[in-house]
């Protein structure tokens, strides 16, 4: 089934321009286009949104939240010429996927990796423009005072061969990684996301992996991806990520992870994105939203709530409902499981004060200490720092509330001095700490990774908590929310 508006439908909806909203909200900051040169995007409008406004109070669709889910929803609306307004509470787009420039360093807000095989991302993003820089396909694991390599045999055959006998796991473990990989490659993503589930730790046990490889490799590697050192996360998510890792490369965009949402936003009309606009309440009967400032926006076709799970739960709980007595179903759990958090500490180092030049991820397989993983970001993407410096990124799992940034940084330095030697680490300069209390929703079983995106006619939700808690899941959910809205509004042509 293709999703598109007929020519007359497109004209009808595009005549309700968002430009009038620019006037009503003067003083608020709009998203400004970046200077990235634009090139092919799969989601392009078939005609510009330039018709004169008919209404001064309404726009077609209002999307709340300019994270990847909201940006994907906006991209799909734009590609169908449906006018929309994207309201974002913070001062920039990207949500959890943002990057800061600090003293010539590119600091992602937390350690994030973009896997090139994410299927939805492949449809929406221009990879060439992102200038993706690859990590080594494997990891170097700190265990028992030494470093041991785990390598992808299809990409680094001789490294993988040499690593067969290292203490990270038995030879059988390493063969089991190969057979697990083949197993996930034979399943579709849909099969994986709907499969029977157990915690990842249980799945690994059932496959036959030894405690050694689970503790020394799977816990720091997948625990770092899920921010879940006990690997309670659903086997569905594990298999989805395992499959993506088998098919694609781990990368960073040269300009930082925030280049991903920036690319999506740069292809939308700048006046359609309103920053610093926090929605305080929803009135479903009026199909309207009120900002914290008291400003009200009304939508013609529907509202898409693309905010984090706790925010969505709050807004839906306080929502003024339809007068028809049929309260909407609430896809957001009333008592969500505790969220997954992380802390990322950055340092700068002189070029001669780092132990390696290669773009490898270091994992803590020792079972001790607070650092879960670390890497030298400029080894992956030199643009992450000034020419004469190295950017060091160390990640911890959990929120470490009650511990000061200074204390945490000192503990990280002490721990990494044990790994690499005080003569190197002692010279590193502290740059910044990012504490992300809500990095991902908790996706331990029971999960439903195929949740409905429809709350009621005219109200839809999007966000990573509705599907896989990944960049890809967020992009998928933005599309699915738009599809649900279009189905309700019968704007779909088969």
Ligand X SMILES: Cc1cc2nc3c(=O)[nH]c(=O)nc-3n(C[C@H](O)[C@H](O)[C@H](O)COP(=O)(O)OP(=O)(O)OC[C@H]3O[C@@H](n4cnc5c(N)ncnc54)[C@H](O)[C@@H]3O)c2cc1C
Interacting residue ranges for ligand X, rule: CB under 6 A: 64-70, 87-90, 95-97, 110, 112-113, 278-279, 306-308, 311, 342, 436, 439-440, 463-464, 469-471, 474
Give CA angle at 250 (389, 341), nearest 5°.
80
Instruction: Choose between 92 and 153: whose C-beta lies nearer to ligand X.
Output: 92
Instruction: Choose between 17 and 342: whose C-beta lies nearer to ligand X.
Output: 342
CB of 324 to ligand X, least distance (A): 26
CB of 50 to ligand X, least distance (A): 27
Instruction: Choose between 385 and 478: whose C-beta lies nearer to ligand X.
Output: 478
Instruction: Choose between 109 and 174: whose C-beta lies nearer to ligand X.
Output: 109
- Sign of the alpha-carbon torsion through 465, 466, 470, 476: negative
How far is Cα 95 from Cα 104, in angstroms, rounded to an integer? Answer: 22
Indicate the pairing of strand 373-376 with strand 454-456.
Answer: unpaired
CB of 241 to ligand X, least distance (A): 8
Instruction: Choose between 32 and 357: whose C-beta lies nearer to ligand X.
Output: 32
Instruction: Choose between 373 and 378: whose C-beta lies nearer to ligand X.
Output: 373
CB of 338 to ligand X, least distance (A): 15
CB of 463 to ligand X, least distance (A): 4
CB of 288 to ligand X, least distance (A): 14
Instruction: Choose between 173 and 464: whose C-beta lies nearer to ligand X.
Output: 464
CB of 289 to ligand X, least distance (A): 8
Tokens of 306: 């693309």
Give CA angle at 225 (221, 226), nearest 5°.
115
CB of 382 to ligand X, least distance (A): 20
CB of 472 to ligand X, least distance (A): 6
- Sign of the alpha-carbon torsion through 431, 436, 440, 445: positive
How far is Cα 381 from Cα 251, in angstroms, rounded to an integer? Answer: 9
b/e code 290-306 from CB counts within 10 Å (16+ = b): bbeeebebebbbbbbbb
What secondary structure does DSSP assign to 456-479, as a single string? ETTEEE-SGGGS-SSHHHHHHHHH
How far is Cα 318 from Cα 256, in angstroms, rounded to an integer? Answer: 37
What stretch of H or E contains 238? helix 235-247
CB of 196 to ligand X, least distance (A): 23
Please, which residues bridge with residue 130 across strands?
none
Instruction: Choose between 9 and 131: whose C-beta lies nearer to ligand X.
Output: 131
Instruction: Choose between 150 and 279: whose C-beta lies nearer to ligand X.
Output: 279
Percent of residues in the chain assigned helix, strand, coil, to nearest 5: 35, 25, 40
Instruction: Choose between 107 and 306: whose C-beta lies nearer to ligand X.
Output: 306
How far is Cα 240 from Cα 244, in angstroms, rounded to an integer? Answer: 6
What secondary structure does DSSP assign to 315-343, as a single string? HHHT-B--TTS-PPP--S-SSPPPPEEEE
CB of 265 to ligand X, least distance (A): 11
How far is Cα 484 from Cα 480, in angstroms, rounded to an integer? Answer: 6
Contact present, 319 and 279 (Cβ < 8 Å): no
How far is Cα 435 from Cα 437, in angstroms, rounded to an integer? Answer: 6
Distance from the Cα of residue 167 to its chain's centroid:
33
**Among 223, 240, 307, CA closest to 317:** 307
Instruction: Choose between 15 and 405: whose C-beta lies nearer to ligand X.
Output: 405
Q: Please, what is the end-to-end C-alpha distance for the chain in angstroms?
A: 5
């Amino acid at each position: 089934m293709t999703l598109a508006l007929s020519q007359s439908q497109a004209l009808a909806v595009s005549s309700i321009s968002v430009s009038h909203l620019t006037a009503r909200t003067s003083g608020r900051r709009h998203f400004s286009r970046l200077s990235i040169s634009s090139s092919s995007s799969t989601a392009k409008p078939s005609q510009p949104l330039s018709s004169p406004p008919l209404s001064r109070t309404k726009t077609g669709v209002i999307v709340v939240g300019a994270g990847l889910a909201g940006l994907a929803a906006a991209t799909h609306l734009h590609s169908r010429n449906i006018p929309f307004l994207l309201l974002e509470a913070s001062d920039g787009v990207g949500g959890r996927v943002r990057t800061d420039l600090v003293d010539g360093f590119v600091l992602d807000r937390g350690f994030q990796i973009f896997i090139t095989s994410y299927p939805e991302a492949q449809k929406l993003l221009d990879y060439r423009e992102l200038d993706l820089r690859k990590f080594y396909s494997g990891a170097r694991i700190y265990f028992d005072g030494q470093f041991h390599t785990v390598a992808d045999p299809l990409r680094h055959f001789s490294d993988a061969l040499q690593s067969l006998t290292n203490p990270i796991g038995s030879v059988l473990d390493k063969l089991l990684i190969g057979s697990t990989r083949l197993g996930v490659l034979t399943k579709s993503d849909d099969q994986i996301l709907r499969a029977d589930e157990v915690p990842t730790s249980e799945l690994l046990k059932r496959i036959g992996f030894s405690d050694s490889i689970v503790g020394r490799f799977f816990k720091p590697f997948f625990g770092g991806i899920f921010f879940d050192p006990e690997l309670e996360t659903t086997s569905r998510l594990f298999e989805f990520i395992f499959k993506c890792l088998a098919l694609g490369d781990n990368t960073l965009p040269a300009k930082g992870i925030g280049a991903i949402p920036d690319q999506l936003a740069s292809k939308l009309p700048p006046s359609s994105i309103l920053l610093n606009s926090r929605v305080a309440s929803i009135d479903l009967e009026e199909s309207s939203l009120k900002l914290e400032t008291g400003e009200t926006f009304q939508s013609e076709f529907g509202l898409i709530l693309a905010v984090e799970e706790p925010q969505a739960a709050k807004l839906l709980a306080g929502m003024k409902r339809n007068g028809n007595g049929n309260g909407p179903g609430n896809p957001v759990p009333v008592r969500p499981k505790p969220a997954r958090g992380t802390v990322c500490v950055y340092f700068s180092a002189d070029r001669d004060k780092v132990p390696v030049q290669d773009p490898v991820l270091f994992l803590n397989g020792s079972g001790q200490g607070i650092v879960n993983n670390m890497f030298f970001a400029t080894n992956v993407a030199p643009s992450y720092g000034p020419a004469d410096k190295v950017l060091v990124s160390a990640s911890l799992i959990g929120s470490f509330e009650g511990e000061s940034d200074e204390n945490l940084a000192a503990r990280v330095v002490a721990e990494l001095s044990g790994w690499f030697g005080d003569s190197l680490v002692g010279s590193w300069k502290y740059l910044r700490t990012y504490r992300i209390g809500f990095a991902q929703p908790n996706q331990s079983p029971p999960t439903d990774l195929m949740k409905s995106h429809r709350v009621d006619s005219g109200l839809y939700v999007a966000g990573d908590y509705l599907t896989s808690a990944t960049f890809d899941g967020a992009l998928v959910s933005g599309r699915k929310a738009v599809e649900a809205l279009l189905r309700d509004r019968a704007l779909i042509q088969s």
